[in-house]
């Protein structure tokens, strides 16, 4: 038995069988249990260490697996990362039935997660780009069912994500030359430029994020939210692998400035566009752009704080995106339209659903006492120490996203006629969103509850982890 077989092979093998249950809630429950079991195994089961079962019997889980002459390696340092990925995936799978997309999201999502974990583990790393592309292709049926004609958002998503692959492959090829000839500045600049372009497409860096708001209009908000959680997260981990592997890249003088500039541009443009939206789905799309910008901003501080500022964002951002997309999916299932003019007075009809949406929005922009506040305050303060002008532009982006949140709240409480309070939505939908609100508040009041996991995550990256 080896680690890649457990955390990559088992999900890939089981994912086709998740199409078999006829009831969506059964599919969601099975997918959530499998992902939760894999998360618990990653936390408790030691890799590459003998485990004594009895006086005469011991067991050792190997860390590598060879396939077609290539190695897939999952080391003990990767286990907190696996716990995080599969633990958050379990939350998405459990909520998929309430969002009405469990029959497609769970089996397809399980396959995508397994492939993306393989992309982080494969050696040589160049094959990771091909595995990521395979995962992106598998995601298309999730976002655009066979009976529905693909829209502009789906097509742009596929084109932009595919364009990232040749840049990553060429940069990897050039990096092999940099290793043998580190003094060649021209080769180094070419490799860094191609790598930056590859990750710009992969992370939807300005102006390459036009597919996000379009996709939020065309597909299920929950399915899009799942992709917007998973792909950027894996892309960031993939980028950290490059930084950890190549000393010349970590020591590149312009790298923190480039990351900071890209992050601020994403925060400002995402926030400003969100402030003027009249569609709740598009607003969440631009808030996701805002999220990616803050992650880039936190990553720009790696030379001062290692990766602690970056990893602080993962759980709050994922939780807010999960609750936000679930709330929008419930409104879509029950009301159809997410336009402002159609959603007036919804707080009287769907109080818990609307509260979930509002709390997620406020947490995303870092309102005090909510889960997003500690990481945003940490990144904002770190940037302010570098340059006050950058901190000012961050404030512009935050204020703009706050404007969008206030407009949303105003629409939800505005009603053309007097309405009585009713509790619509299924018990499952209301309970899941209510639990999500509770955890947004809990992690905001007690952020130290995340420390057992977050303190171990940086050690997956030997040089960056400090």
What is the predicted pLDDT for the residue at 280? 93
pLDDT for 76 equals: 84
pTM attached to this predicted model: 0.92
Percent over 90 (pLDDT), the chain: 47
Residues 352, 86, 283, 102, Cα dihedral to 10°? -70
Q: Average model confidence (pLDDT) for the chain? A: 87
Using one digit for the tens of pLDDT, what is the confidence trace for 189-229? 788 888 889 989 999 898 889 999 999 998 899 999 999 99
* Selection from 156, 252, 248 nearest residue 201 by Cα: 156
User: Residue 124: its pLDDT value, please?
Assistant: 74
CA trace torsion 36, 42, 45, 46 (10° rounding): 180
Rounded to an integer, what distance in angstroms lies between the CA atom of residue 447 and that of residue 423?
A: 31
Domain locations in the chain as residue ranges = 1-123, 124-460
What's the alpha-carbon Rg for the chain, to the nearest Å? 22
What pLDDT shows up at residue 466?
54
Spatial contact of 342 and 462, defined as CB atoms under 8 Å apart:
no
Q: Are 249 and 255 in contact (CB under 8 A)?
A: yes
8 A C-beta contact, residue 164 and residue 202: yes
Confidence bin at 179 (pLDDT 50/70/90): low
Return the pLDDT at 373: 92
457 and 307 Cβ atoms separated by less than 8 Å: yes
Longest dimension (CA), the chain: 76
Choice between 127 and 180, residue whose per-residue pLDDT is larger? 127
Which region among 81-85, 97-101, 263-267, 420-424 has the lowest average model confidence (pLDDT)? 420-424
pLDDT band at 406 (very low <50, low <70, confident <90, very high): very high
Model pLDDT for residues 93-147, shown as the tens digit of each residue: 999 999 989 999 999 999 999 999 998 888 877 788 889 999 999 999 999 877 7
The pLDDT of residue 127: 82
User: What H or E segment, with its residue span, contains residue 135?
Assistant: helix 127-143
- With beta carbons less than 8 A apart as the criterion, state whether 205 and 239 touch: no
- Across the range 428-446, mean pLDDT stands at 93
Query: Each residue of 378-404: pLDDT tens digit?
Result: 889 889 988 899 899 999 999 999 999
56: confidence class by pLDDT, cuts 50, 70, 90? low
Rounded CA-CA distance 349/412 in Å is 10
């Amino acid at each position: 038995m080896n680690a890649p077989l457990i955390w990559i092979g088992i999900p890939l093998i089981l994912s086709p069988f998740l199409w078999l249950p006829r009831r969506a809630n059964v599919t969601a429950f099975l997918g959530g249990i499998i992902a939760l079991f894999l998360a618990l195994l990653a936390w408790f089961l030691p890799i590459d260490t003998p485990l004594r079962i009895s006086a005469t019997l011991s067991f050792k889980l190997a860390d590598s697996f060879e396939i077609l002459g290539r190695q897939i390696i999952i080391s003990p340092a990767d286990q907190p990362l696996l716990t995080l990925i599969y633990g958050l995936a379990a939350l998405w799978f459990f909520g998929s039935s309430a969002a009405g997309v469990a029959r497609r999201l769970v089996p397809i999502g399980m396959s995508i997660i397994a492939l993306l974990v393989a992309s982080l583990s494969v050696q040589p790393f160049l094959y990771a780009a091909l595995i990521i592309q395979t995962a992106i292709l598998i995601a298309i049926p999730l976002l655009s069912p066979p009976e529905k004609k693909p829209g502009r958002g789906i097509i742009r998503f596929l084109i932009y994500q595919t364009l990232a692959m040749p840049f990553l492959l060429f940069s990897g090829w050039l990096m092999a030359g940099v290793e043998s000839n580190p003094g060649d500045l021209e080769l180094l600049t070419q490799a860094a430029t191609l790598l930056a372009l590859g990750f710009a497409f992969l992370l939807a860096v300005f102006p390459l994020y036009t597919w996000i708001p379009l996709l939020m209009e065309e597909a299920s908000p929950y399915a899009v939210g799942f992709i917007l959680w998973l792909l950027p997260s894996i892309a960031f981990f993939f980028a950290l692998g490059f930084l950890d592997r190549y000393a010349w890249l970590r020591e590149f003088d312009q790298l923190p400035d480039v990351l900071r500039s890209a992050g601020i541009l994403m925060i400002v443009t995402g926030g400003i566009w969100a402030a003027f939206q009249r569609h709740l789905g598009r607003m969440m799309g631009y808030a996701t752009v805002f999220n990616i910008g803050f992650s880039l901003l936190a990553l720009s501080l790696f030379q001062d704080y290692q990766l602690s500022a970056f990893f602080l964002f993962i759980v709050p951002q994922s939780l807010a995106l999960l609750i936000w997309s679930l709330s929008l999916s419930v409104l879509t299932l029950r009301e159809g339209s997410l336009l402002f003019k159609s959603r007036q007075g919804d707080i009287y009809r769907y109080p818990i659903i609307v509260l979930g949406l509002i709390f997620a929005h406020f947490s995303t922009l870092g309102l005090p006492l909510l889960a997003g506040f500690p990481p945003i305050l940490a990144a904002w303060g770190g940037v302010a120490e570098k340059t006050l002008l950058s901190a000012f532009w961050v404030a512009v982006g935050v204020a703009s996203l706050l404007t969008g949140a206030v407009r949303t709240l105003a629409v939800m409480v505005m009603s053309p006629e007097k309405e009585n309070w009713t509790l619509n939505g299924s018990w499952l939908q209301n309970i899941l969103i209510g639990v999500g609100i509770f955890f947004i508040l809990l992690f905001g009041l007690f952020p130290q509850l995340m420390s057992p996991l977050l303190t171990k995550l940086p050690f997956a990256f030997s040089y960056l982890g400090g």
